[in-house]
Chains A and B, each alone.
Chain A
Amino acid sequence: MNYLLHILVLLAIDVPLVLSLTLMAGYGGSLSVAHAAYFGVGGYFLAILTTRFGWTVAAALLLVPLTGAVLGAATGAAAARLRGDYFVLYTLGAQVLFVGFARNMIPVTGGPFGITEIPRPLYMGQPLYSLSGFALFAIIVALVCIGIIVLATLGPSGLAARAARADPMAALALGIAARKIRFLVVALSCAVAASSGALYATYFGFVGPDSFGVGKSILLVAAALLGGAGNVQRGALSACFVVVLPELLRFLQLPSQLAAEFRSMLFGLFLLLVLLARPGNALSQSRRRP
């Protein structure tokens, strides 16, 4: 039972995270390879506020999305300036920079050893150590995040974002501020990723630079594209797949190092297959034949 609850918590962390990237790619038209960094910023921010300044997890969780949004705004500004592959390269640089700072700013981040003893949220004045209680808390946070994403994709705002992504010039002619929308979508996506990071930090009680590396970002890109960028339902399904696959690999009883590499290879292959086999992929900009 505890194992299933653990999987449920992992799903509550990863589903909003993958959906936030799906939102950025599908509605913002920007594919970020720094999503693990935004996830990490949320984790580190919560860890620092709770362990160094004595904040409660609930109070820190309210501030974390704002930090993510501010960082996302900087990325959003870059997204508005840079075209596709240059933006990917920019975010790849930002991702490596984040890990560099996390590893080297030892007084703030704890360096390679990270930050430990991050507290759990309080319920009736007591830390929430029971797994069922924490799972419920994580599901509530995840549902709030997913709800915000779904709201952003529905109605006029979603249509405007789709139009801005499909043809910014035509959208502009219709009075839709394409750049502003792209900027807001990226900021919202980063805020959700940071919230997932905060949830991760309080669940595991530890954050370190290796948890938020380039590999994690690439895995997230694979998951987002597997579902099809911009598709919330399939995005959620592919996030479930990303969480469940490593658990299935456990049954092969491979040595841990071998299993990690094997898992990375599988995700890389999935990413390639998705790109090569799905002409309708959200990344494709197939030209109409005359």
Chain B
Amino acid sequence: MLAQVLWNSIPTALILAVNASAFALIHRSSGVFHIAFASIWPATGTLFIQLSNSSLLWPLAIPAAILLSLALTVMCDRLVYAPLSMRSDSSLAAITASLGLHVVLLSSVLLVAGSETRMLSTVALSPAFQLSQVRILWSQLHSCFIVTAALLLTALILQMTSASMKLRALGDDPEGVELTGLNVRNTRSVAFLLAGFLTAAGAIAASTDAGMGPHQGMPVTLMAAVATILAGDRTLLLGASLAGFFIGTLQGIVAGYCPARWQEVIVFSTLTLAILIKGEGFLSAVKRLEER
């Protein structure tokens, strides 16, 4: 029983890890809590499922889902976050604007695609095999593969290029970065593009594993926010993905032993407690009072 519960929690944990990485990448480089993620994520998943279930358009499912996620994420920055940031508006204005964006995008998704949860037509027929006492579905393996590949690819891009350094510098001191002659808007866009790619990977993996509904985005986003807060600001990807994996595993174990209806309550109690106890992050460097 425990082994099966642990295995079932792994796809959930990996999906949360990739979502948390996307969320943290944006927060760490631009200071924005990207709540609009809560509507981009289901929009991407819904498009992926719609196209995958189509007999003609299924080869376009993955590229179209990635393109939609990239376009919406970068659009959020270019049209809303960047203008607010250029006006030196507070982070409070950015998170409030992000809530507005979420409402607009979610309403658009509901108008276009309706409110029902969609599943891949192949999920019900997903073959399974037995490994010792654990039953493993191929759809779970697909999800794990998609998410791990996306995370590794993003980490590789950040490692092999100077993007990681630039994004961290941008997060620490945007005005200083501007003075060095770096194009701040384009550098921000790199962060949003990478986050859009990770969002698409998470949405595709979640759709492959358990389907997607338009209202699933908010709990996922808030959990990604918890992971981002827990991870603090020392790393771009690693801290958030580890924190996301930890919370996802916890969530999977809770789902295995507690009634599913209490799952959300337990996770959000963790969120509020985490923010109250350690609002600046558990893995953050200690800052002087005037730096906070």
A215-259 CB mask vs B (1 if < 8 Å, else 0) is 100100110010000000000000000000000000000000110
Which of A104, A269, A283, A285 has the most chain B CB atoms inside 10 A of its CB?
A283
Q: Which residues of chain B are near A270, meaning CB under 8 Å?
A: 100
Q: Does B93 contact A (CB under 8 A)?
A: yes
Docked-complex contact B103 and A218, CB < 8 angstroms: yes
Docked-complex contact A265 and B97, CB < 8 angstroms: no
Docked-complex contact B100 and A90, CB < 8 angstroms: no
Docked-complex contact B264 and A96, CB < 8 angstroms: yes
Docked-complex contact B276 and A267, CB < 8 angstroms: no
Quote the shortest CB–CB distance from A65 to chain B (angstroms): 24
Interface residues of A in 86-104 (CB under 8 A from B): 86, 88-90, 92-94, 96-97, 100-101, 103-104
Docked-complex contact A93 and B275, CB < 8 angstroms: yes
B69-85 CB mask vs A (1 if < 8 Å, else 0) is 00000000000100110
Chain A residue nearest to B108 (CB atoms) is A265
Q: Does A154 contact B (CB under 8 A)?
A: no
Q: Which residues of chain A are near B218, meaning CB under 8 Å?
A: 96, 214
Docked-complex contact B279 and A82, CB < 8 angstroms: yes
Docked-complex contact A221 and B83, CB < 8 angstroms: no
Docked-complex contact A275 and B268, CB < 8 angstroms: no
Q: Which residues of chain A are near B107, meaning CB under 8 Å?
A: 261-262, 264-265, 268
Docked-complex contact B99 and A281, CB < 8 angstroms: no
Once bound together, how far apart are the Cα atoms of A284 and B94, in whole Å? 10
Q: Does A52 contact B (CB under 8 A)?
A: no
Docked-complex contact A271 and B279, CB < 8 angstroms: no
B24-57 CB mask vs A (1 if < 8 Å, else 0) is 0000000001010000000000000000000000
Docked-complex contact A275 and B279, CB < 8 angstroms: no
Docked-complex contact A279 and B87, CB < 8 angstroms: yes
B197-241 CB mask vs A (1 if < 8 Å, else 0) is 000000000000000000000110010010001000000000000
Interface residues of B toward A: which range? 35 or more
Q: Does A143 contact B (CB under 8 A)?
A: no
Q: Which residues of chain A are near B101, meaning CB under 8 Å?
A: 268, 272
Once bound together, how far apart are the Cα atoms of A85 and B110, in whole Å? 27
Docked-complex contact A284 and B93, CB < 8 angstroms: yes
Which of A94, A96, A268 has the most chain B CB atoms inside 10 A of its CB?
A268
The A-B contact count (CB < 8 A) is 140
Docked-complex contact A104 and B262, CB < 8 angstroms: yes
User: With A100-B264, A104-B261 in contact, do A286 and B96 touch (Cβ < 8 Å)?
Assistant: no
A25-39 CB mask vs B (1 if < 8 Å, else 0) is 000000101000000
Once bound together, how far apart are the Cα atoms of A171 and B134, in whole Å? 62
Q: Which residues of chain A are near B222, meaning CB under 8 Å?
A: 89, 92-93, 96
A47-64 CB mask vs B (1 if < 8 Å, else 0) is 000000000000000000
Quote the shortest CB–CB distance from A58 to chain B (angstroms): 33
Once bound together, how far apart are the Cα atoms of A33 and B225, in whole Å? 15
Chain B residue nearest to A263 (CB atoms) is B107
A70-88 CB mask vs B (1 if < 8 Å, else 0) is 0000000010011111101
Q: Does A276 contact B (CB under 8 A)?
A: yes
Quote the shortest CB–CB distance from A274 to chain B (angstroms): 9
Chain B residue nearest to A289 (CB atoms) is B88
Once bound together, how far apart are the Cα atoms of A25 and B292, in whole Å? 22
Contact of A100 among B35, B115, B265, B279 (CB under 8 A): B265
Q: Does B90 contact A (CB under 8 A)?
A: yes
Quote the shortest CB–CB distance from A80 to chain B (angstroms): 11
Once bound together, how far apart are the Cα atoms of A96 and B218, in whole Å? 9
Quote the shortest CB–CB distance from B141 to chain A (angstroms): 31
Q: Which residues of chain B are near A262, meaning CB under 8 Å?
A: 107, 111
Interface residues of B in 254-292 (CB under 8 A from A): 261-262, 264-265, 268-269, 271-272, 275-276, 279, 292
Docked-complex contact B93 and A275, CB < 8 angstroms: yes
Contact of B103 among A86, A215, A284 (CB under 8 A): A215
User: With A215-B103, A272-B97 in contact, do A287 and B88 touch (Cβ < 8 Å)?
Assistant: yes
Once bound together, how far apart are the Cα atoms of A33 and B95, in whole Å? 11
Quote the shortest CB–CB distance from B36 to chain A (angstroms): 10
Docked-complex contact A84 and B264, CB < 8 angstroms: no
A143-160 CB mask vs B (1 if < 8 Å, else 0) is 000000000000000000
Q: Known contacts A33-B99, A275-B89, A275-B100; can you find 9 more A-B pairs with CB under 8 A? A: A83-B279, A88-B96, A90-B275, A96-B264, A97-B265, A218-B100, A265-B111, A279-B87, A287-B88
Which 3 residue pairs of A and B lie closest in terms of their CB atoms, listed nearest first? Answer: A268-B103, A271-B100, A84-B92
Interface residues of B (CB under 8 A from A): 33, 35, 80, 83-84, 87-97, 99-104, 106-108, 110-111, 115, 218-219, 222, 225, 229, 261-262, 264-265, 268-269, 271-272, 275-276, 279, 292
A-B contact pairs, 22 of them (CB 8 A): A82-B276, A84-B90, A84-B92, A89-B95, A89-B229, A93-B268, A93-B272, A93-B275, A100-B262, A100-B268, A101-B265, A214-B218, A218-B100, A221-B99, A265-B107, A268-B104, A276-B80, A276-B83, A283-B92, A284-B90, A285-B90, A286-B88
